[in-house]
Amino acid sequence: MRTSARATRQCNTRRCLPRAQRVVAHAHPMKVAVTGAAGRTGGLVVKKLVERKDQFEARAVVRNASSKSKLAGLPDTAIFEVDLARGGADAFLPAFSGCDAVVIATSGVPVLKPLSLIPVFWAKLTGKTGVSPEFSWKEGQFPEQVDWLGQKAQIDAAKKAGVKKVVLVSSMGGTDPSNNLNKLGGGNILQWKRKAEQYLIASGLTYTIIHPGGLIDEPDGQREIRLGVDDTLIKETVRSIPRGDVAELCVQSLKLKAAENRAFDCVSRKPGDGQPTKDFEALLTGMPKNCDYSINSQYP
């Protein structure tokens, strides 16, 4: 029977390749270190890795010993303490040594100034506009320290330890220096994140950079995930995504060739609007573009 031209074209695409060519092969469970493992997103990445012990061997990196209780299912020997504010690249080497991949889920977290809410409430009562709450950063956790220098140290350590792949969880909004997130506490957090992303790309390591929209604590696996580049998804009505769906993207990106050397944005539809995403290879191959770092370039 003659093969149609259409079928030939389809079988020349990545999706028609044998599975062994679409998934990065490992003879043993992939060893993966997750930094920021005590955080809400990083903790979900660790949880998903632990649930797939036939595929992954998880390690968790946390800031201090008090965070260990959040990591059920991991032995103490698989949990490492590293303080980003004090440790350079060498501090991460014990955790990264022997690993195939690293997932970086560290991020500066702004702290609300409680007293700044008083003028906000007063503005609501009087009808005044343009009044917003104020934020600050904990000592040692300013975005330049965490999202640039801290992530740079992790990338350097990964390279020194012989890690092959780095998945970096960042944020949408990096193309716009005037984004409101940059104004929080004067931290310019998205600028520093973008600098770390560009440093990772220049490192020579295989990478996946994920820019989630607004992170929400709702069940994952129930929504259609949408990918984009260069913050075009910010224009969408729904610009959020469950943390668990971002964690799943991280885990899937560890093994799929379609995720190699990719940088993309992600949001999700509302439950019931579209079909829940199950085929992550199709999701990634269906949106082949990469983010353009000539827009608001921060490195070198």
Q: Are strands 56-62 and 79-81 parallel, antiparallel or unpaired?
A: parallel
Distance CA 171, CA 107 (A): 10
Distance CA 73, CA 56 (A): 13
- 3-class DSSP assignment, residue 228: strand
Q: Which residue has the tokens 């992939």?
A: 30
Question: ω before 300 within 30° of 0 (cis)?
Answer: yes
Q: Which DSSP helix (H) or strand (E) runs through 223?
A: none
Q: Find the angle CA(177)-CA(108)-CA(237) to the nearest 5 degrees.
A: 55
Distance CA 12, CA 125 (A): 63
Q: Which residue has the tokens 């997103």?
A: 41
Distance CA 176, CA 234 (A): 11
Q: Integer distance in angstroms from the first to the last C-alpha of the chain?
A: 56
Distance CA 73, CA 70 (A): 10
Q: Which of 97, 107, 136, 171 is catalytic?
A: 171
Q: Which residues pair with residue 31 across a beta bridge? A: 57
Distance CA 83, CA 48 (A): 24
Cα separation values, 183 from 120, 132, 235, 284, Å = 17, 11, 20, 32
Q: Is 171 an annotated catalytic residue?
A: yes
Distance CA 186, CA 212 (A): 22
- By C-alpha distance, which of 227, 217, 226 is closest to 273? 226
Active site residues: 171
